[in-house]
Chain A
Amino acid sequence: MTAAIQVDGLAKTYNGSVKAVDGVSFSVEAGEAYGFLGPNGAGKTTTVSMLTALLAPTAGRAIVDGIDVFADPASIKRRIGLVFQESTSDSDLTGRENLQLAAALFGVPRKEVAHRIDDLLQKLQIADAADRLTKTYSGGMRRRLELAVGIIHSPRVLFLDEPTLGLDPQGRAGFWRYVQELRKEHGMTVFVTTHYLEEADGICDRIAIIDHGHIVATGSPSELKDRLGGDVVTIRPANPGLAAAAQTALALVPGVLAVTPQDGTLRVKCLRGEELVPKLVEACDKAGVGLAGVSLKRPSLDEVFLEFTGREFREDEGMTATDMAVRLGQVQQAWGRSRR
């Protein structure tokens, strides 16, 4: 496997003083989904902007799809797709016209354009609005169009900067389903930034937690959680009188770290709880203990974040890109209204 994204000591200092990204290094394998998880102002958008040749770094190197980003911005742009955090679609064009423009600029073969656009519009459920000006779109519809524009040319590497910001749960699920489909079909590499922990957990093969421009932890979602000390499987024997027998049996299962009785149940601390559950059930069975219930609780990435940064997700001082995106959306809507 070759790296689709290789980053060494990448840094960006704005106006000589604001250290937005402070020397990050990581690599993303081809076909992998890699998440950048961090609070507002952590440096996510700044990193994406540098990797997509929109922003010059203060220091460091980045290779994307085998090409040095800063030596050859033009050929990078041909190979990658980018979905911005804020809305960038053209409000005086219809959804379809926005897509036609992007298709032409990315050199999508002419014969395929119409078909590909119809397919995208349908999969992202904006086909009904395709021929309306995008200034009449709702926020969620605009977001879906953004994604469609970002992937119209089947990029080899897709950069998503908080792509599901403002989408409803269905929209979010539909969006990710489609991204996963593309990954399977084309082996597309995905670099996604988010501050939705569940989202990073569900989508990413690996995650980097970024805070104040530094990567503070990396690993697969489950590795990161394991570092917190693992999962808890709660087992409820059908007959509370057999709890002691069950405890003895469970403690002998390899992988179990500790078993503690609590209110007639047994809390089993372990790594990789999912894989262990069948073995725990089997052990109880052999010991002749019937079960009334089993549940698994994994530590969430919220706790992971807390662990590695020493803070809850914070609301940072100053105006961050998210605020700006929201404000820009408001300005844009007001502008659209005033022109209608």
Chain B
Amino acid sequence: MIRELSALTRRELLRIARNPQALVTALLLPILYLLLFGQAFDLGALAASSPGGQAALIASIRGAPTYFSYFSAGMAGFVAVTATLFIGANVIFDRLFGVLKRTAATPATATSIFGSRLIAGSIQPIGLAFLVLGLSLLLGHLGLSGLQVTASLTAVGAVEIVLAVVILSLMFASLFLAIGFTIEQPQSYFAVVNAINLPVLLTSAALYPWGTMPPWFRNVASVNPITLAVTVIRENLFAGATAYYPYGPAVYLLGLLGWAAAMMVLAIVLARRALAPKQ
């Protein structure tokens, strides 16, 4: 079991490493958001022009020092999701080119076929999420809008941030693998995945200030998995943020874990079905 999992994971990693174009595409999105959207969308300038505006802005972004700081944590979560899109597509191309059939003809279990793709496919999104945070910090040091960490980050806090990013990536990687094992045509895959990706982003608190959302929207956003992960990051990076959130980071992590567990079970069931003798 360990041997087949590591052999399959090695195959997935080699394959990702040998197709670096996918990485370039995945990198482009967060960089554009940080360098263009993040720089131009300056709520701070707006707030400074009205009396009491600054305090209202900080309340609206739940204790983050600047909108960019709030938004960069959101982008880390968003990137962890979009960079998992390709791994479901890989399943479809593998089916098209017979590689999946070849694997189905070996004694490898569906669980390790899924698991290897999950492990290999999550490395890139996790790396990109931290790249976004690092790049945001760097932008701040360069005198541009950037991420300002105002809390003193504890070891536990750092672990919580890492867990949030890892679990979020695993959750969406599982979801997209589940879809990849179910859908046979690349076009339909991308249609379905796009129909999931953007709505999930746009119903999360990754981009919008919490204070500007209508209450019903907050209800939706507060159970959104991207919101859960991003909240863990924000509570740990911004001093005074905890006062704005009803729960501590551990609670949000648990919620995220629930989502991830559900998606993994779904993916294993669908992978098993896809690899069983065809009806």
Contact = CB atoms under 8 A, between A and B. Distances in A.
Interface in B7-47: 7-8, 10-11, 14-15, 18-19, 21
A90 B3 contact: no
Given A55-B277, A90-B11, A105-B4, A149 B102 contact: yes
Interface string B178-221: 00000000000000000000000000000000000000000000
B101 A106 contact: no
A86 interface: yes
Nearest to A90: B99
A73 B102 contact: no
A233 interface: no
A332 B96 CA distance: 9
Contacts, number: 83
Interface in A95-153: 97, 100-102, 104-107, 133, 149
Interface stretch (B103-111, B144-152, B262-270): B103-111
A88 B101 contact: yes
Contacts of B107: 74-75, 77-78, 105-107
Contacts of B279: 56
A175 interface: no
A31 B49 CA distance: 89
A54 interface: yes
B19 A339 contact: yes
Contact of A92 (B10, B15, B98): B15
Interface in B71-111: 96-99, 101-109
Contact of A105 (B14, B108, B278): B108
Interface string A59-102: 00000000000100111011000101011111111000100111
Interface residues of A, number: 37
Given A86-B98, A88-B102, A105-B106, A53 B14 contact: no
B105 A54 contact: yes
Contact of B106 (A91, A92, A102): A102
A87 B105 CA distance: 14
Contact of A88 (B4, B7, B10, B99): B99
A253 interface: no
A328 interface: yes
A86 B14 CA distance: 23
Nearest to B12: A92
Nearest to A58: B279
B14 A106 contact: no
Nearest to A69: B277
A92 B278 contact: no
B5 to A, nearest CB: 10
B193 to A, nearest CB: 20
B101 A56 contact: no
A52 interface: yes
Contact of B7 (A92, A104, A339): A104
Contacts of A73: 276-277
Contacts of A53: 277
A55 B279 CA distance: 6
A54 B101 contact: yes
A217 to B, nearest CB: 29
A87 B98 contact: yes
Given A93-B11, A105-B4, A105-B7, A52 B105 contact: yes
Interface of B: 3-4, 6-8, 10-11, 14-15, 18-19, 21, 96-99, 101-109, 276-279
Interface of A: 49, 52-56, 70, 73-75, 77-78, 82, 84, 86-93, 97, 100-102, 104-107, 133, 149, 328, 331-332, 335, 339
27 contacts: A54-B105, A54-B277, A55-B278, A56-B277, A70-B277, A73-B277, A74-B107, A74-B109, A77-B105, A78-B107, A84-B102, A88-B97, A90-B11, A90-B99, A90-B102, A92-B15, A92-B19, A93-B14, A97-B11, A100-B7, A101-B7, A101-B11, A102-B106, A104-B3, A104-B7, A107-B3, A331-B97
Given A92-B19, A93-B14, 14 more contacts: A49-B278, A56-B278, A56-B279, A74-B107, A84-B101, A88-B99, A97-B14, A101-B7, A102-B106, A105-B103, A331-B97, A332-B97, A335-B97, A339-B21
